[in-house]
Amino acid sequence: MSDAEYYNKLAQAVIAGEPEEAEELARGALSQGLDALECINKGLTVGMERVGELFSTGEYFLPDLIIGGDAMKAALSILEPALLEDQQREILGRVVLGTVEGDLHEIGKTLVGTMLTANGFEVTDIGIDQPASEFVAAVEEIGATLVGASALLTTTMLQQKKVVEELRAAGFGDKVKVMIGGAPVTQAWADEIGADGYAEDAIAAVGVAKKLIGVE
């Protein structure tokens, strides 16, 4: 199979909601020497975007979102370890990462965590549906200097504002930076709520994180 065929099949496995097929393809792709990140960006993410479109147009329903997500997660369970193989050893900074309260979307947030880890950050992933107070508590506990807050719903984006506000109220001042992301999130929203950074995908998140903690 050519590289392009692998990407296409990975996308199709997500669209069709076939976790086993997706996992199998991911294994095959790696053994053919394909790049894990390319498989994610040109295959799985393309499929997931299509699932989202089909959901918006009413052709797909909630179970299709769930199974599409499961297929993407299954393939990621194979691809993510490959991304971590050439992980940097020196720790650039500690990051608290989570999806905000009321929001159950975890795939993009987890991918951001993997990319940050692969690039030398120590990431504490506090999970999904996390209130602002949990972000603050985790920062205190691990002494993080960077927070990443993910939101995939227009309704839960407001919780990112709360995360920024509560971190400021906790008195960390400029010592703890906040970066936000998620499909509906924009730089304009980051500016509006006073977040320090925004990135549109997991790769860009690495650059933004480095800039925010002053290593680039």
Binding stretches for ligand B12 (CB under 6 A): 45, 48-49, 51-52, 55-56, 62, 65-66, 68-69, 102-109, 111-112, 148-150, 152-154, 179-184, 199, 201-202, 205
Distance in angstroms (rounded) separating the CA atoms of residues 153 and 45: 18
Q: Identify which of residues 29 and 71 has a Cβ nearer to ligand B12 in the complex.
A: 71
Distance in angstroms (rounded) separating the CA atoms of residues 119 and 95: 12
Give per-residue burial for 9-35: e unless 16+ CB within 10 Å, then b: bbbbbbbebbbebbbbbbeebbeeebe
- Side chain identity at 26, as an amino acid letter? A
Q: What is the DSSP letter of 42?
A: I
CB of 148 to ligand B12, least distance (A): 3
The total number of residues written for the chain in this structure = 216
In this structure, what token pair is assigned to residue 201? 């995908």
CB of 159 to ligand B12, least distance (A): 11
What distance lies between CA 139 and its chain's CA centroid?
19
Q: Identify which of residues 167 and 179 has a Cβ nearer to ligand B12 in the complex.
A: 179
CB of 33 to ligand B12, least distance (A): 23
Q: Identify which of residues 1 and 36 has a Cβ nearer to ligand B12 in the complex.
A: 36
Q: Identify which of residues 30 and 153 has a Cβ nearer to ligand B12 in the complex.
A: 153
